[in-house]
Amino acid sequence: MPERTVTVASRSGLHARPAKIFVQAVARQGTPVRIRVGDGKPVPANSMLAVLSLGARHGVEVTLDADGPQAEETLAALADLLSRDLDAEDGTDA
């Protein structure tokens, strides 16, 4: 299963608005994706509550994994999203 590690760039981390943008992007991908902090238990990346429960703050590394034929492309798109400051963007292109 492919994985991608990325540093959360949003000033508020994966909280509130950035988490919503991320979860919506995951849902649009159509590929099962999980996210974890460090060696923690992975959670479904399409669940707002699960993503918020990670407590991923600005500068924290998260690891994404995906399964399916589009896994690599999905991980690349989501890693790119998390590497941007979503607090500073309007979110319409995410």
- The model carries a pTM of 0.90
**Residue 94 confidence (pLDDT):** 42
Backbone angles phi, psi at 17, to 5 degrees: -60, -50
The stretch 49-59 carries a mean pLDDT of: 97
Please report, for residues 17, 49, 81, 85, 88, the alpha-carbon distance to residue 11 in angstroms, rounded to integers and kept in the order given.
11, 19, 14, 7, 9
Please report, for residues 63, 74, 87, 89, the alpha-carbon distance to residue 34 in angstroms, rounded to integers and kept in the order given.
8, 11, 22, 24
The tens digit of pLDDT for each residue in 44-53 reads 999 999 999 9
The tens digit of pLDDT for each residue in 67-93 reads 999 999 999 999 999 999 998 875 444
Q: Domain segments of the chain: what residues?
A: 3-82
| 58 assigned to active site | no
The answer regarding whether domain 3-82 maps to CATH 3.30.1340.10 reads: yes
Please tell me which residue in 15, 37, 75, 81 is annotated as part of the active site: 15
